[in-house]
Structure 1
C-alpha cells in the first residue's frame, strides 16, 4: 500500500496502468488474508517492543487512530526495565483501561521479544534499536503477527537481505506490514510527489536532501554496566545498532528522493564525512556529518547532507529541480512548487504523518485489504547504507557492490555478557571509520 500517491483526476495513463496492475495483485493477495479483525467493531490487540520515545509514541498513535478502530495494548518489551516502566506509566495515564499490561506481560532483557511474540497480540510494534530489526521482524512473521516497524529496516546489507526474505514470507502468510516512514503519508508530500510524477516540473535534473540538526540524546556509561549494556543503552552512537545517523534519521529524506524518482534507487554513491564535534568517549563511533552524491540509473544526481552539530543551520527538507520548475518540501512545515510562467503553489503540512500512517494501516484492517510497505521503503534503508559505505570508505560504491556486501555488523551473541564491536581504547575512545583505510564492503 501507499506505493503510489493518490492522484485522482490528475492520473497519467502510465500511473493509472501501474495502479491497476497493483490493484489486481492486491485482490489476489487479499484472498489469502485471514478474515479476523476485518470488521471495524473488532478490538485489535497490539504489543510493543522498544519502549523509548518513538515506540511509546507509535503505540499512542495506534490507540489514537481517527478511523474508529478499537485498539488495546496488551504487552510490552524493552531491554531495560526502567524504560518499560516509564512507557507503561505514560500510556496507562493517557489511555486507562485500554492499556492492559499486567506484570506477567511485561518482558525485559534482550530476549524478551520472543515472549512478546507468544502473546495473542494481533499487531506487534517493532521499535527497538534498528540493529535488532531484521531479527525481530523474522520472529514476528514466524509467529504470524501483523507488524508495524520503525525505520530504518536494517543497518547493513545482510540485514537488508534478511528483511527482504522475511517479507516474502509475510506476503505468503497474508500479514499486513507498515513501516514508520511517516512522510509517505503526509498530505504535502503526497501532493508534491503527484505533481512531480505528473511532469509539472519537467524532467528532474537533480535533487537535494537535508537532515541537519543539533543532534540527539546521549547516555553516559553507568557504573557496573557491561559493554553490551552500555552500547545498547547508548545505542544511537554505535553503527551496529543505529547504522549511523545517515541511516537512522536521514533515511526519511533519502526515501523521499527515491519516491520522487518513481520508487527507484540510486546505482552508485560517493561522498565524505567525519567527526568534528562529537569526539568524546560518550559518542561511540559514528560520524557527526555526511555529504553524499547519489547517481540514479538515468544519470540524475541527488545531493544528500546530514549533520549533528549544534549552533549550525538546521534543515529537514527535500528538493527536486526540473527542466520546468522545482519543488521544495520542508519536513516540519509547508511545501511549495514553482513552475515557469505560473504562480507558486503552496501546500501546508496538514495532520501529523505519524498519526496518518496508523490511520492508513488500520483502515486496511477495517476493509480487509492487504497492506505492505516494505518493498519500497527497504530501498530507502539500503540507499542510506550505500551512502554510509561511501563516506566511511572514501570510495565510489555501486548499488550492486553494496547490496551484496557480506559485512555483518551484528555481534556474535545477544546476551548482556556478549562483547560487541567496536571496543573502546584505554582512554575510553572508540575507533571510527577512516576514509581511505576503511573498506566499503
Structure 2
C-alpha cells in the first residue's frame, strides 16, 4: 500500500498548478497563426455549453471543426454558436463530421479538442486526442467501465510525456470556495478528516421516446443516460462531482466501497437499466468513512452539497458558493464570501487556454478524473452486487460494457426483452455479470 499511496500523492501534485513546464510550442498555431483552433467532439447540450465557455474565456479562439454521431445535434450546435460568436465559428460543411469515426478527422483540424460525447466514448476519444498530440478539455466522467479507466490512465501517462494539457470538467476543482476551503483543510485548519457525507439528490433528467425506424443502437445513444455502457448510471455520470470532492478532501482514494441501491421509483421501460437511488460508504486506508447518497426520481428532496467532520472541527461545502469551516464549539474558522467569484465552468477553460497561450504545460487532470470516475464505478458495482468491493481488486476487472463494434446496425450488449424492458441488476443474484468471482 505504501507504493500506492506514493503514486496517488505524486498524481495529486501533477494534477494542478504545481505541474508547469514549457510546451513543445510557444503559442503559435495553425501554421504560424496565433489563433487557437478548437474542435468540439459531441455537440449536445454539454458540448455546446463547453464551446460557449471556451469561446468566452477571453483568448483568441476559433471553433474550426464539429463532430457528433447525429447530424441534427451538430446542426443545432452550429446554429447556436454561430448566432452568438459569429466569426469565431469557422466550420464549413467540409469540417462537419458525423457518425462513429468522424472524431479522428475533426481532431486533425484543431490544436485543442473538447471531448463531450456521452461518457462511454470518452476513453477512445481521449486516446486518439493524445495520439494526435492535442491539448484537451475532457468532460466528466471519463469512462463507464474499468477497462475504460485503464485506457484513460495509460493515455494520461502518454499525455504527460508529450506535455499535453488535460483539463477534466470536474469544475469544483476550479471553483474558488472549494479551492480555498480545501486548501485550509489540507493545511490542518480542522485537523484530520475522519468522516463525511456527500449528496446529489434530485428529480432526474429527460427521456426521449423511441421513434419508428430507429435501430437499437440509435435508440440507446439518443437515450444515453439510461444505459450503463454510455452513462455509467447516475452515480458515475452525475454524482462523480461529490465523489471527487470526497477524494480531494481526503487527498486519497477509498480502499473499499459497499452500499445499497435500487430501481424503486423509475421502473418503466423507458428508464433503461439504471437504478434511481444509491447509498454507499467509502472506506479509506486510515479507517475514515465517507457516506454518499444520490437519487434520481421525482419527489426526491433536492440536496447537492458536502459535509465533513474532522478531529478539530467540521466543514460545509456547496456548489452555490458556500464554504464554512467551524471548530467543534461552533466557532467559525473560515467563511468564504462568494460575491464576485468567477464562474467555475468558464474558469476551467480560462485556465486551460491561458496555459496554452503561454506555451505552458500546467494541467493533467486525467488521473484524478479517472480515479474519481472509478470511485463511482466501484460504487455502482457494490450496489448492483450487494458485495464489498475492494479497490485494488476492482481495478483489475476485464468486464467491458462496450459493444463489440460501433455501427448503427450493431447491437449493444444490453437488449430489451419481448415487452421492451431491459435487464436490471439484482443484488446477490446476477453478480458475475458485473464483477469477476
**What's 1:282 paired with?**
270
Q: CA deviation at 1:25?
A: 6.1
**What's 1:4 paired with?**
none
Separation (CA, whole Å) in 1 of partners of 2:42 and 2:14? 38
**What's 1:327 paired with?**
315
Q: CA deviation at 1:102?
A: 0.9
Separation (CA, whole Å) in 1 of partners of 2:16 and 2:426? 44
**What's 1:267 paired with?**
255
**What's 2:108 paired with?**
118
**What's 1:303 paired with?**
291
Residues 15-414 of structure 1 mapped to structure 2, 5 A cutoff: 26-27=20-21, 30=22, 33-37=24-28, 42-65=34-57, 68-119=58-109, 121-262=110-251, 264-341=252-329, 342-343=331-332, 345-349=334-338, 350-370=341-361, 371-414=363-406
Question: Could you say if the C-alpha distance between residues 21 and 332 of structure 1 is closer, same or farther in structure 2, counting changes exceeding 3 Å?
Answer: closer
Question: Could you say if the C-alpha distance between residues 324 and 47 of structure 1 is closer, same or farther in structure 2, counting changes exceeding 3 Å?
Answer: same
**What's 1:437 paired with?**
429
Q: CA deviation at 1:366?
A: 2.8
Question: Could you say if the C-alpha distance between residues 23 and 176 of structure 1 is closer, same or farther in structure 2, counting changes exceeding 3 Å?
Answer: closer
Secondary structure of 2:355's match? Answer: helix
Gaps in structure 2 of 5+ consecutive residues:
1-8
Q: Is the 8 A contact 1:202 1:322 kept in 2?
A: yes
1:175-224 Cα shifts (integer Å, max 9, x gaps): 11111110000011001101211211111120111011101111111110
Secondary structure of 2:324's match? Answer: strand
Runs (4+) of structure 1 exceeding 2 A deviation are 18-27, 32-38, 340-346, 348-351
Length-normalised TM-score, structure 1 = 0.91
Q: Is the 8 A contact 2:15 2:365 kept in 1?
A: no
Gaps in structure 1 of 5+ consecutive residues:
1-14
Secondary structure of 2:74's match? Answer: helix
**Higher mean C-alpha deviation, range 388-397 or range 314-323:** 314-323
Q: CA deviation at 1:35?
A: 2.4
1:319-340 Cα shifts (integer Å, max 9, x gaps): 1111221111112342222123
Separation (CA, whole Å) in 2 of partners of 1:107 and 1:313? 41
Length-normalised TM-score, structure 2 = 0.91
Question: Could you say if the C-alpha distance between residues 282 and 74 of structure 1 is closer, same or farther in structure 2, counting changes exceeding 3 Å?
Answer: same
Q: Is the 8 A contact 1:219 1:234 kept in 2?
A: yes
**Higher mean C-alpha deviation, range 283-292 or range 341-350:** 341-350
How much is the aligned-residue C-alpha RMSD, in angstroms?
Answer: 1.9
